[in-house]
Structure 1
Amino acid sequence: LKAGGAYVPLDPAYPSPRLNQVLADAAPRLLLCDAAGRAALGPEVLTGVTVVDLETATPGWAELPASNPDPRALGLTSRHLAYVIYTSGSTGTPKGVMVEHASTVNLLHWSSGVFADSEISRTLFSTSISFDLSVYECFVPLSQGSTLYLVEDALALAQTPLDVSLINTVPSAIAALVDRQAVPASTSVINSCGERLKADLIERVFDSSGVEKICNLYAPSETTTYSTWICMPRGEAVVETIGRPIANTRIYLLDAHGQPVPFGAVGELYIGGAGVARGYLNRPELTAERFIASPFVEGDRLYKTGDLARYLPDGNLEFLGRNDDQVKIRGF
C-alpha cells in the first residue's frame, strides 16, 4: 500500500477454481505466497506469475531500505487503487471491485471519529481477507495504533477467550457466540454487518454479556465496506434499521425514473460520496450500468445498489429487501 500497489486478497481456504478465476481476471504482477497458498492454487497457476515466497530464509525484500517510500517521489495520489476485492459470484461471474485509497481513508477517519480509542484498542480480526469486512477489521486498529487479534473465525472465542474490546462480524456468528456464552467479558462494542440484524438478537446480547453498545452497519463492497450505520447503547431503544449515512456519504431513494421518492415511500437505494469505488475491474459495461453520474451533486458518482429502503419518521433507513435479483449485494 505504501509503495502504491493495490492488493488482491486470496484466501487459501477458498476452492482452487475460485482462486484461479480471480487470478486470471486480476492478472497480478506479484503473488505473495506461502505453503498453504501454493497448495490451494496448484503448480500450474504459479508458473505464469512472479512469486514472492513468504517462507524463505532470506525474504525478497531483505536488501530493501527499512524506511517508507516517498509517495511524492513515486507520483502517488489518493486516487491510486488500494485493493481489488471480488464479489461472491453467486449470481454470476465474480466481479473485482476497485477501491481507491481515498475511499478507504474516509472509512478509517469516520471510524476514528465515532469510536473511542478504548473501544477500538483491541479489535478482533476474524473475517476472511477475501471478504471486505476484513478491510475494517485490519486497518482501523492498525491506523490508530491499536492491537488486532487475528483468529480463524469469531467462533474461535468459544475455545480461546481473548481480551478484545470490539467484535466486527455477522449476526449469525454473534448469535452463535451468545448461544455458547462466549462473548468475552472485555467486549464493549459489537459491530453487526453483512446480514440482517434482528431486535431479539440485540436484546439477547445485552441480556447475556457486558457489551455496552451494538452497531448495525450496511453497505455493498462497491461503496467501501460501510455506508450507513446506527449504534444502540445499552438501555436505549432497540430498532431494526440500517441507520443513517457515515461521514461524506450521500444516500438517495429513487423511483424507476431516477427521481427521489417522497419521504416514507419505498425507493431503490443509491449511494454517493467518498466511499464509491472506481468500478469493476475489466468490466467497463457493467461499471457504466451500476456506477452513474449523480444528477444531484456535480462531480459525484452514485452506485445503484439494487436494494429497496424507506425513511422512517425518525430519519433512519429501513431496509426492505432486493429490487433486482440479478445484482448481488452481500448479506441482505
Structure 2
Amino acid sequence: EVIVAVFLPPSIDSIIAVLAILKAGGAFLLLNPLANKKRLDSIVEKTQPSVLLTWQELIEDLPDSDLSIIVLDEKLLSRTTPGGEDLKAGTTLENLACLLFDPWKDEAPLGVQILHKGLLNLALWFRQRDRLAARDYLMEISLDDPGSSLWVLLPLLIPGKVSHFTASDSLQRRAVPAKLSWFRLLTASKQPQTRRPSSLPIEVANNLTVNEATQVAFCGIVSRGSRDRAWHIQREPVSNASVYLLDNYMNPVPVGVPGEMYIGGAGTARGYLREPDRTAERFIPHPFTDEPGARLFKSGELARYLSDGSIEYQGLKSNQVKVRGYEFNLHVIEHALQEHPSVWHVVAMVCEGEGQASEKRIIACVIPRQKEAPTADELYAFLKDRLPHCMLPSDYMMLEGIPSSAFGMSELRALFSSEGGSGTQAAASGQP
C-alpha cells in the first residue's frame, strides 16, 4: 500500500501513471496542478507519499516537501521496455487502491481510502449496465475538480471500450467532434445535467459522486420530459450497494419523505486516512445486517423514494435553510434556474445583510451559457411560475466561474452582506 502522488493535469500520461501504480501494487493520489498550493501542501503533509510523478514544466509548481520525484519525459519512457509477464503485486480486494480528497472543502483535508474491491465493483457495474460495445463512445464530464475526478475514467478504461473523452465545458459549447454518430455522456457532479441538448445525438447519464462510496453512488438517465420538472431525475444505486434513507432516529422514511442517505456495500471506503475519530463518526456499524464488520456511510445528503422505487436526490442536508419563516433546500432553486436555456451552472446561497437589509436573502450566482447573460427580470419571470414566492432569489449575480472552495463561497457571501446585495445585476422589480 505504497502511496504514489500523480501531479499531472488530465492527460494520457496521468491515465498511464495511474494504471502503472495499480499494476505495481501501489495506491495513487491525484494532485491537481491548478489547485490551491496551500491545500496541496497540507494534502502532501498528511499523506506522505513515497514518490511523486510529474512533468518537467510543473516542477516549479510542486508542493513544498522533500518527496522523491520522477519526471515523466521522452528519455525516461524510451528506457522503459514492456516485460513479457504480468507483475505479481500480491494485492487483494481489501488493499488500498487510491486516496481521494474533496476539492470543495477548505477545512483540514480528509483522505478517503478507496479499496480495490470498490474500484473493481464500479468497473464491473459500468460494463454490465452500459453493455459496452466496440462502437460505444463514452465521455466523462465533471463540474468538480478535474484532477481528482480523472480516476473515474478508470472503470471505463478497464473494459477497453472508451473511444473519446473531453473537458467539462465542451458539450455546453457544442464542441463535440462531428464524426461521433453516437455516444453516452457521463457527468460526475453534485449538480447534475437536467436535460439533453436536442441538437446532439446523446444519452445523458448522471453520476452522483460520493467519495466515501467509491465516487459513484447513484446513476440516472436524463429523459426528454417536461423541462420545468426535469430536475426530478430518477437515480438507481450502483450494483452491490445498499442504500437506506433514514430519519434522525435511524428509522426508514416512507415514500415521498426526504431522509438522509446511508450507503453500504462493496463500494464503502475503509475510512479517512489517519482520522480514527472522524471515521468512527461517519462510518457507523450496519444496523440492518448480521454480516460481521459491515458498515454504513452517513452521507449528509438528502434523498427520497419515488412511487416507482427509484431514488430522487434532494441535495446536501446542510443546504436546508430557513428564510422568511419557510424551510427548504437551496438545491431545488439551483435545479430550477439551471432549466433556463441561457444558464449553464448555478449556486444558490443565503446571505444576511446589515442595517435595513439585515434579513436573510437568497442570492443566485449564475454562469451563463453565452456571453450575453440573461437579465434579472428574465430569470425572475422564469422562476415565478416554477417556485413558491418564498424561494425566489432577491439578487442574481452573473459570474464567469463559481468558486471551487468554501473560502471562495464565503467571500461571495461577505460581498453581498457588506454591499447590501448589489451584484452585477440588481434584484428584479417585484421580487422579494
- TM-score, normalised to structure 2, is 0.61
Q: Secondary structure at the match of 2:216?
A: coil
Task: Give matches, 1:181-192, under 5 Å.
Answer: 181-185=174-178, 186=180, 187-192=182-187
List aligned pairs for 1:11-30, cutoff 5 A. Answer: 11-30=32-51
Offset at residue 196 of structure 1 (A): 2.7
* 1:9 counterpart SS class: strand
Equivalent AA in structure 2 for residue 53 of structure 1: V
Find the structure with the greater CA-based Rg: 2
Q: Which amino acid aligns with 1:193?
A: A
Residue 135 of structure 1 aligns with which residue?
151
Q: Kindly indicate whether the alpha-carbon contact (under 8 Å) linking 2:222 and 2:233 is maintained by their aligned counterparts in 1.
A: no
Moved more, 293-302 or 185-194: 185-194
1:108 match: secondary structure: helix
- Picking from 195, 210, 220, the partner of 1:220 is 210
1:325–1:214 Cα change, 3 Å:
closer
- Amino-acid identity (%): 29
CA distance in 2 between counterparts of 1:278 and 1:108 reads 18
- Whether the aligned pair in 2 keeps the contact of 1:124 and 1:150 (CA below 8 Å) is yes
Query: Counterparts of 1:1-332 in structure 2 under 5 Å?
Result: 1-41=22-62, 44-45=64-65, 48-55=66-73, 57-58=75-76, 62=80, 65=83, 67-71=85-89, 74=90, 76-88=91-103, 90=105, 92-118=107-133, 121-124=136-139, 130-132=147-149, 134-137=150-153, 139-149=154-164, 151=166, 153-155=167-169, 157=170, 174=171, 177=172, 180-185=173-178, 186=180, 187-197=182-192, 199=194, 202-203=195-196, 205=197, 207-211=198-202, 213-232=203-222, 240-297=232-289, 298-299=291-292, 300-324=294-318
**Contact 1:218/1:242 (8 A) holds in 2:** no
The answer as to whether partners of 2:49 and 2:67 remain within 8 angstroms in 1 is yes
How many residues of Structure 1 are paired with residues of Structure 2 in the alignment? 293
> Which shifted more, 223-232 or 61-70?
61-70
Unaligned runs of 5+ in 2: 1-21, 321-345, 348-432
Deviations 1:48-69 (A, max 9, x none): 1222221262469848845321
Contact between 1:218 and 1:228, CA under 8 Å: does it hold in 2?
yes
The unaligned stretches of length 5 or more in structure 1 are 158-173
Q: 1:198 to 1:66 in 2, by over 3 A?
A: closer
Deviations 1:197-227 (A, max 9, x none): 364xx15x1x22111x222221311111211
Flag the structure with more relative contact order, 1 or 2, with Cα contacts below 8 A and sequence separation at least 6. 1
Q: Mean Cα displacement is larger for which, 76-85 or 241-250?
A: 241-250
Residues 24 and 87, structure 2, Cα contact 8 Å, conserved in 1: yes
Structure 2 residue aligned with 1:171: none
User: Would the alpha carbon gap of residues 59 and 77 (structure 1) be closer, same or farther in structure 2, given more than 3 Å must change?
Assistant: same
**One-letter amino acid of the counterpart of residue 200, structure 2:** S
Counterpart amino acid of 2:272?
Answer: Y
Give the direction of change, closer, same or farther, for the CA distance of 1:231–1:292 in structure 2 (3 Å limit).
Answer: same
Contact persistence 1:276–1:303 (CA under 8 A):
yes
Taking the aligned partners of 1:96 and 1:14, their CA distance within structure 2 comes to 16
8 Å CA contact 1:9, 1:129 repeated in 2: no
Residues 142 and 148 of structure 1 are in contact (CA less than 8 Å); yes or no, is this contact kept in structure 2? no
Q: Deviations 1:35-81 (Å, cap 9, x if unpaired)? A: 23312116x52xx122222126246984884532124xx3x211111
Aligned residue in 2 for 1:166:
none
CA distance in 1, matches of 2:168, 2:158: 22
Structure 1 residue 14: Cα displacement: 1.8
The alignment partner of 1:292 has SS state of strand
Amino acid at match of 2:185: I
Q: Name the counterpart of 1:170.
A: none
TM-score normalised according to structure 1 size? 0.78
Q: 1:131 to 1:120 in 2, by over 3 A?
A: farther
Classify the secondary structure of the residue corresponding to 1:141: helix
Structure 1 position 233, deviation (Å): 5.8
* 2-structure distance, mates of 1:282, 1:65: 36
- The 3-state SS of whatever aligns with 1:271 is strand
Residue 195 of structure 1 and its aligned partner are, at CA, apart by 3.2
The question of whether the paired residues in 1 share the 8 Å contact of 2:263 and 2:296 is answered with yes
Taking the aligned partners of 1:117 and 1:269, their CA distance within structure 2 comes to 30
Structure 1 Cα separation of the partners of residues 274 and 32 of structure 2: 21
CA shift, 1:111, in A, is 0.4
Displacement of 1:266: 1.9
